[in-house]
Amino acid sequence: MDKLLRSSIAWAENTGETYEVFFRLYIVFFLISPFVYAQKIYLLKQWHLSPRVETLDIEISKKIAQYPNQYDLYQKSTDLIQNKNVKIVLSEGCEKSEIDKSFLQKFNGWTFLSLEKIKNAKNYSDILTLLPLKLGVYWGDTVKTVCVDDESLIQKSQLMLTEIS
Name the pTM for this structure: 0.69
- Where b means 16+ CB within 10 Å and e means fewer, 59-80 reads eebeeeebbebbeebbeebbeb
Where is 113: in which H helix or E strand? helix 112-118
- The phi, psi pair for 122, rounded to 5°, reads -60, -35
The neighbour count for residue 109, using CB atoms within 10 Å, is 16
Report whether pLDDT(115) > 60: yes
Task: Give tens-digit pLDDT for 121-140.
Answer: 999 999 999 988 999 999 98
69-92 pLDDT, tens digit per residue, is 999 999 999 998 998 888 888 877
Q: What residue spans define the domains of the chain? A: 2-162
Which residues of the chain form beta strands (DSSP E)? Answer: 27-32, 40-45, 88-95, 97-98, 144-149
What single letter denotes the amino acid at residue 123? Answer: N
Q: Quick check: 49 pLDDT over 80?
A: yes
> pLDDT tens, 56-72?
999 999 999 999 999 99
